[in-house]
Amino acid sequence: MAQQYFAQIYVTLRPSVLDPQGTAVQSGLQHLGYNNVEQVRIGKYIEVTLTAESLETAQQQLDHMCDQLLANPVIENYRFELQALSTPMNMSS
Amino acid sequence: MAQQYFAQIYVTLRPSVLDPQGTAVQSGLQHLGYNNVEQVRIGKYIEVTLTAESLETAQQQLDHMCDQLLANPVIENYRFELQALSTPMNMSS
């Protein structure tokens, strides 16, 4: 039975990789007077809605999507949270 | 006593705002064979390390940072999670 899932994916630069965008934002914050900001790092937050037969299938597909397209494994890490949406697909028909 | 805080900020487009980047990623995923992906929306994930006198001060400052620089309140929503880092600042000296 196909079920709808909602995934929240967080893609972040690996700690060893420089983050010029984060440095620029930190500098911007300091210009606004926030001198107590010590570090800023910027990543991506991706929400994906998908249908799958099971939670495990959805997890495996999301892993592949992240490796293939959503993240660059050479310089980025990713993690995701996955939850089933309340209504199974065949109950809406 | 100044304390170090770590904030995780999520900036997302308001639901009524079109997300062409998300649509492009969804199309890319479908080209890779993931036809079960129904929606993709892309936001920003920002990690900020800052020092502040209290959790409340840190919260207020982060609200202002988001309103002023990190998010565009006209088209974006934001939320953040804030936690104190374990070591108070004056214990490291």
Which pLDDT does position A88 carry in this prediction?
A: 56
Bridge-based pairing of strands B3-13 and A76-84 is unpaired
Chain A residues within an 8 Å CB radius of B42: 44-47
Domain that holds residue B55: 3-16+42-91
Report yes or no: B82 and B1 within 8 Å, Cβ to Cβ. no
User: Which pTM does this prediction carry?
Assistant: 0.88
Domain count, chain A: 1
Contact between B64 and B57 (Cβ < 8 Å): no
Here the CATH number for the domain that contains residue A13 is: 3.30.1280.10
Q: Report, in this order, helix, strand and coil percent for chain A, each rounded to 5.
A: 35, 40, 30
pLDDT (average), residues A31-59: 96
Residues of chain B with pLDDT under 70: 87-93
> How many C-beta atoms lie closer than 10 Å to residue B16's C-beta?
6
Residue A64's closest CA among B59, B33, B44, B2? B33
On whether the CB atoms of residues A20 and A69 are closer than 8 A, the answer is no
Q: What is the pLDDT of residue A91?
A: 44
Q: Which chain B residues touch A19 with a CB distance below 8 Å?
A: none
Q: What ipTM is given for this predicted complex?
A: 0.86
User: Cβ B65–A36 below 8 Å, yes or no?
Assistant: no
